[in-house]
């Protein structure tokens, strides 16, 4: 280490973080690439914290490292260490590297084989994650169930007493992640019905290993495959049925609260791409539909109604902003706009809006779409997109009848 750069202290990090937060997109991408290239990221990881929202939009290719592969299926549970509390059903981000260290050391040669396989790949390589993850996760789960704190645990500042329960919960979850990944894959992105027996086996596995991990599993399930929510909420067979039901109820309530928090769903879709926002809205709409399915307690029904109202406002705001900034602004800027970019944005907006209607606000969307379609029709003939492009845009925004009328109006 002699002659190398001095490690950054907390004050340096805070100062640099402030600069980083205001960096332009190109600089953000360079910073992320630099931090990702470090073999030991340590406190440099904190540089990325203020960028996470922007990274959700920019989506830089993140290298697929051992730790990222190991925690990939648990991503919805990972939160900044500063917000983490021991009774929370979550994993503090600072714990990831030490937990991965335990697994890497215990699995030694097999870990090296996995690291070699993922070398040079990125976190966007879903097939590689599934293939290598299914090899890693069950073994990682076993290791963590009885792991002792590695030397690097001290750097987390979480305290020794935290390690064992956190490692056990994480291990209980990871042990089921290969089965969970297969369970999700079998539904072909929600097209086929989820298998009750497979879900129950996963939940029994978690409950048998560490019952306190059940709420985290429920959160993973509801986040990744909301289509399975009704299945989850239905009566569970076996002796652990009541524990599962309690965990499901508790997690659903917390999830609904999280959705409507200041930093909840509305904030999330406001800071992601339109495509991602549409996916998020679809998942939430599916979740709400599933939770309202069948017999629901009056309190839960009232809660769901309130959640819908709050979400509706957030979804409409995102839709209006997208329509204004990513469609109208480009069309009205004059010159020769990139029609394919505008079409893609309009499609993403329609996908978002169609899903969001399930939550509420139908007439507001109709009005905004009609106004935008009218603006497209009113564009000066001599500038901007050609006639067919305009017809296509009107079709995306206002439907095929409006577009056909435009086509036939000569």
Partner 1 sequence: MSGSSAPFLVESHHPATFRSRGVAAPFTTPMLVGTRIRESKTGIELVVPNPSGGRGVYILDWGGVRTLGNPNVHDTVLFRRVSSIGRLDPAGMRDAALDVALDGHAGRDAAAAAKRGIAGDAAFRLNAHFRLMLGLIEQVHPAGMKAIPPAALGEEVERRGTAILHKLAPLVGQSPADLADALAALGNVFAPVGIGADDKDARTACLLRRLEEAQGSLSDWLSADAENDIGGIGRAIAGAMQTADGYGRAILQATRAVAADAIGLLKRWFKDTEAAVTTASRADWVLDGWEWVCLLWLAAQTGAARRRALLEMAQLIPVLPGEAANWTDLPPPPETLRQPCRVTSREDGWRSGGAAFALIERNESLRAMSI
Tell me the sheet residues that pair with 122: 63
Q: Can residue 348 be called a binding residue for partner 1 (CB under 8 A)?
A: yes
Q: Can residue 196 be called a binding residue for partner 1 (CB under 8 A)?
A: no
Q: Can residue 191 be called a binding residue for partner 1 (CB under 8 A)?
A: yes
Q: Which of 20, 31, 352, 368 binds partner 1 (CB under 8 A)?
A: 352
The secondary structure element, H or E, covering residue 92 is strand 91-92
| Window 260-279: contact mask with partner 1 (x via CB under 8 A) | ------------------x-
Q: Can residue 234 be called a binding residue for partner 1 (CB under 8 A)?
A: no
Q: Can residue 336 be called a binding residue for partner 1 (CB under 8 A)?
A: no
Q: Can residue 64 be called a binding residue for partner 1 (CB under 8 A)?
A: no
Q: Residue 316 and residue 313: Cα distance in Å, rounded?
A: 5
Q: How far is CA 152 from CA 36, 72, 292, in A?
A: 19, 21, 45
Which 3 state secondary structure label does DSSP give 372? helix
Q: Can residue 75 be called a binding residue for partner 1 (CB under 8 A)?
A: no
Q: Which of 188, 235, 299, 381 binds partner 1 (CB under 8 A)?
A: 188
Q: Can residue 389 be called a binding residue for partner 1 (CB under 8 A)?
A: yes
Please, is 192 exposed, middle or buried when counting C-beta atoms within 10 Å of its C-beta (0-12, 13-18, 19+)? exposed
Q: Which of 39, 189, 336, 363 binds partner 1 (CB under 8 A)?
A: 189
Q: Residue 386 and residue 108: Cα distance in Å, rounded?
A: 62
What single string gives the DSSP state of each residue in 197-257? HHHHHHHHHHHHH-GGGHHHHHHHHHHH-GGGHHHHHSPPPSTTHHHHHHHHHHHHHHHHH
Q: Can residue 388 be called a binding residue for partner 1 (CB under 8 A)?
A: yes
The interface region with partner 1, picked from 59-67, 126-134, 152-160, 260-268 by CB under 8 A, is 126-134
44 with 38: CB under 8 angstroms? yes
**Tokens encoding 179:** 């089965």
The interface region with partner 1, picked from 96-104, 154-162, 202-210, 384-392 by CB under 8 A, is 384-392
- Closest C-alpha among 225, 233, 143 to residue 185: 225
Count helices and strands in the chain by DSSP H and E runs: 19, 2
Q: Can residue 329 be called a binding residue for partner 1 (CB under 8 A)?
A: no
40 with 97: CB under 8 angstroms? no
Give the residue with the Cβ less far from partner 1, 154 or 370. Answer: 370
Biggest distance spanned by C-alpha atoms of the chain: 78
355 with 341: CB under 8 angstroms? no
The interface region with partner 1, picked from 12-20, 168-176, 309-317, 401-409 by CB under 8 A, is 401-409
Q: Which of 90, 284, 291, 391 binds partner 1 (CB under 8 A)?
A: 391
Q: Residue 390 and residue 244: Cα distance in Å, rounded?
A: 53
Contacts of residue 56, defined as CB under 8 A and 6 or more positions apart, other chains included, come to 268, 271, 272, 273, 276
Give the residue with the Cβ less far from partner 1, 188 or 299. Answer: 188
- Closest C-alpha among 135, 204, 129 to residue 172: 204
Give the residue with the Cβ less far from partner 1, 212 or 354. Answer: 354
Q: Can residue 303 be called a binding residue for partner 1 (CB under 8 A)?
A: no
Which 3 state secondary structure label does DSSP give 118? helix
Q: Can residue 386 be called a binding residue for partner 1 (CB under 8 A)?
A: yes
* Beta carbon of residue 240, minimum distance to partner 1 (angstroms, whole number): 27
The interface region with partner 1, picked from 181-189, 205-213, 298-306, 319-327 by CB under 8 A, is 181-189
Q: Residue 313 and residue 306: Cα distance in Å, rounded?
A: 11
Give the residue with the Cβ less far from partner 1, 44 or 128. Answer: 128
Question: What is the size of the binding site for partner 1 (CB under 8 A)?
Answer: 38
The interface region with partner 1, picked from 37-45, 102-110, 361-369, 385-393 by CB under 8 A, is 385-393
Q: Which of 336, 340, 380, 381 binds partner 1 (CB under 8 A)?
A: 340
Binding site residues, partner 1, CB under 8 A: 126-127, 130, 182, 185-186, 188-193, 278, 282, 339-340, 343-344, 347-348, 350-355, 386, 388-389, 391-392, 395-396, 399-400, 403-404, 407
């Amino acid at each position: 280490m002699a002659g190398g750069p001095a490690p950054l202290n907390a004050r340096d990090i805070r100062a640099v973080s402030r600069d980083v937060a205001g960096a332009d997109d190109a600089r953000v991408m360079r910073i992320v690439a630099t931090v990702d290239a470090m073999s030991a990221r340590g406190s440099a990881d904190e540089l990325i914290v203020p960028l996470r929202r922007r990274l959700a939009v920019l989506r830089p290719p993140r290298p697929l490292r051992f730790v990222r592969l190991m925690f990939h299926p648990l991503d919805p549970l990972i939160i900044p260490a500063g917000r983490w509390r021991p009774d929370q059903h979550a994993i503090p981000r600072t714990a990831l590297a030490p937990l991965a260290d335990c697994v890497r050391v215990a699995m030694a040669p097999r870990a090296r084989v996995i690291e070699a396989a993922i070398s040079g790949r990125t976190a966007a390589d879903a097939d590689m994650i599934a293939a290598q993850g299914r090899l890693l996760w069950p073994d990682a789960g076993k290791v963590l169930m009885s792991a002792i704190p590695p030397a690097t645990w001290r750097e987390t500042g979480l305290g020794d007493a935290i390690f064992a329960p956190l490692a056990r919960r994480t291990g209980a979850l990871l042990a089921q992640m290969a089965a969970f990944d297969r369970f999700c894959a079998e539904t072909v992105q929600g097209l086929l019905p989820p298998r009750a027996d497979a879900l129950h086996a996963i939940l029994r596995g978690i409950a048998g290993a560490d019952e306190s991990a059940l709420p985290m599993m429920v959160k993973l399930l509801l986040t990744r495959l909301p289509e399975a929510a009704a299945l989850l909420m239905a009566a569970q067979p076996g002796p652990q049925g009541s524990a599962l039901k309690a965990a499901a109820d508790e997690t659903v309530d917390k999830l609904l609260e999280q959705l409507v928090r200041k930093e909840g769903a509305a904030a999330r879709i406001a800071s992601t791409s339109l495509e991602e926002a549409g996916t998020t809205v679809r998942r939430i709409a599916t979740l709400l539909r599933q939770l309202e399915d069948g017999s629901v307690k009056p309190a839960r029904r009232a809660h769901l109604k309130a959640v819908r109202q709050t979400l509706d406002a957030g979804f409409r705001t995102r839709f209006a902003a997208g329509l204004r900034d990513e469609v109208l602004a480009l069309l009205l800027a004059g010159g020769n706009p990139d029609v394919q970019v505008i079409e893609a944005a309009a499609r993403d907006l329609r996908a978002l809006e169609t899903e969001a209607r399930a939550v509420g606000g139908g007439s507001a969307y109709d009005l905004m779409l009609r106004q935008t379609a009218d603006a497209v029709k009113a564009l000066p003939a001599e500038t901007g997109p050609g006639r067919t492009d305009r017809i296509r845009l009107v079709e995306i925004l206002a439907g095929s009848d409006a577009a056909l009328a435009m086509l036939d109006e000569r």
